[in-house]
Structure formats: C-alpha cells, structure tokens
Structure 1
Amino acid sequence: MKVNVDRARCQGHAQCEDAAGLVFEVGDDALVRLRMENPPEELRPAVEDAVRWCPVEAIRIEND
C-alpha cells in the first residue's frame, strides 16, 4: 500500500493523525506529513479511517 497526501489541499484538521499517528503527523505549519509512505498492511484499517475522516479528501491509498 502506498499513501499519497495532497498538501495543497490539506487544512490541518489532524483527523488523519488522530486515526493513524504512526503514518501521519501535522507539522508546525499545520500541514500533514507522511511518517511512512508505504505503511505495513496491518495499518491499513487505520489509514482507511484517515482517508474517510479527512474533511478535505487530501489522502489517497494506492495499492501496490
């Protein structure tokens, strides 16, 4: 699984960090950063929650 974030779309709501803090973090600039671009499959449910909870739809999952 590969995670993509559109930082231009991000508004810093931090829903992704709440859902999957091992994968996402919101920086001092209030924009999301990926901690892991290719997280292990066991984190998929949390990453899928992050995708669902992002109010601006800035996160995508690509399957390898």
Structure 2
Amino acid sequence: MLCALAAILVLMCLKSILLSVLLPIQNVIPRYFLVIHYQSWIKSRTIFQYLSTDVK
C-alpha cells in the first residue's frame, strides 16, 4: 500500500516536471512548424508563378 502511494507521488512529481518542460516546447514547436509551412508555401507560390509565366 505504501509502495503504491509512493509510486503515485513519484509519478505526479514526474508529471509536473514533464509538464513544466513540455509546455514551453509545445508553444515553440507550432510556431516553428508555422514558419516552415509559411516558407514552403511562399516557395511553392513563387515556383507556381514562375511556371505560369513560363507557360504564357
């Protein structure tokens, strides 16, 4: 019984530590992906414009 309580306490501590570490990462990663997505979108757009002008 005591072992189970200790295990639960340890898990809760680990969870809080993980959350405190992961929350900033979660905030950074989407921004990073958005930047990459935006850059790739701009590249594909410029390529598309280049191709469309080439066809004309």
Query: Normalized against structure 1, the TM-score is what?
Result: 0.23
Max radius of gyration: which structure? 2
Larger strand proportion of the pair: 1
Query: Normalized against structure 2, the TM-score is what?
Result: 0.26
Structure number with higher relative contact order (C-alpha < 8 Å, ≥ 6 residues apart): 1
Larger helix proportion of the pair: 2
